[in-house]
Amino acid sequence: MARWEPNARERLVRAAIDLFAEQGYDATTVNEIAERAGGLTKTTFFRHFSDKREVLYAGQELHGRIVSDAIGGAPDSATPLQMVASAVDELAAVFTEDRREMAGKLRKVIAESAELQERAAFKRAALVGAMTAALRERRVPELVAELAAELGTRAFYGAFGRWAVAEDPRTLVEHARQAFGELRAAMSELE
C-alpha cells in the first residue's frame, strides 16, 4: 500500500538537483533520487514524474497558469507590455529566497547537458505560448501578443539568471523589473 509521503514532490526535486549537481545528470538514477529524498521509493518517484528529466521541469504547468491568470486579471487600461509585466511580477514572486540556491545549481546542471538544454528551450517556449494565449484572450493582436510575451519571458529569464548566481540581496521580482526596463531601453536602439 502506498504510504502518504509529506511533500514528496518537492523533496524529489531538491534531491534530483543535488545529485545532478554532484555527480552529473547522466550518472544519476531514479533510485538514487528517491533514496536521497529521504528514503522514498522508485514507485513514489513515478507517481510524481514520468521520468528523470521531468523532475527539472515540474513547474511548467503551474508557471503557465500563473502568467495566464495575471494577464487575465490585468486592468482593461493596461497596455500589452504592462499586462506582461504584471505576469512576470507574479511569476517572479514564486521564486522566494529559499529557492535561490537550488536555482543556481539547476542552471549549472542544464548548462552541462544538451538534452536538458533542449528541454529547457521547450519550457521557455511554453511560457511564451501561455502568455501569448492569455494576451489573445484580452484581444491583443496576434503579433503584438507574441512580441510582448517574448519580451516578458526574456525579462524573466534574464532576471532569473542574475538572481540565481549572484550574491545580491535583491529579490527576483526586483531583478525582473530592472530587466524589463533594460529591454525597453534596448528596443529604442534597434534602429
Question: Applying CB under 8 A, which of residues 7, 62, 117, 137 lies at the interface with a copy of itself?
Answer: 117
For 122, half-sphere exposure in the C-beta direction (CA atoms, 13 angstrom radius) is 12
Number of residues that bind a copy of itself (CB under 8 A): 28
Dist CA 173 CA 13 (whole Å):
23
- 95 in Cβ contact with 172 (< 8 Å): yes
Name which of 43 and 50 has its Cβ closer to a copy of itself.
50
Is residue 148 at the binding interface for a copy of itself, with CB under 8 A as the rule? yes
Positive or negative torsion for Cα 81, 85, 87, 88? positive
Distance CA 118, CA 132 (A): 21
Cα atoms found within 13 Å of the Cα of residue 124, Cβ hemisphere only: 16
By CB under 8 A, residue 154 contacts a copy of itself? yes
Pick from 48, 100, 119, 138 the residue near a copy of itself by CB under 8 A.
Answer: 119
- C-beta of residue 9 within 8 angstroms of C-beta of residue 58: yes
* Cβ-contact 74, 85 below 8 angstroms: no
**Contact present, 119 and 95 (Cβ < 8 Å):** no
> What are the grid coordinates assigned to 171, written together?
529579490
Q: Is 165 in the site for a copy of itself (CB under 8 A)?
A: no
Q: What is the distance between the alpha carbons of residues 87 and 71, in angstroms, rounded to a whole number?
A: 6
Site membership for a copy of itself, residue 96 (CB under 8 A) = no
Residue 41 or 178 with smaller CB distance to a copy of itself:
178
**Site map for a copy of itself, 48-87, x if CB under 8 A?**
-------------------------------xxxx-----
141 near a copy of itself (CB under 8 A): yes
Residue 81 or 172: which CB sits closer to a copy of itself? 81
Cα–chain center distance at 89: 13
Shortest Å distance, C-beta 140 to a copy of itself: 8
Out of 71, 110, 151, 164, point to the residue binding a copy of itself (CB under 8 A): 151
Which residues here bind a copy of itself, judged by CB under 8 A? 79-82, 117-119, 121-122, 124-125, 141, 143-144, 146-148, 150-151, 154, 182-183, 185-187, 189-191
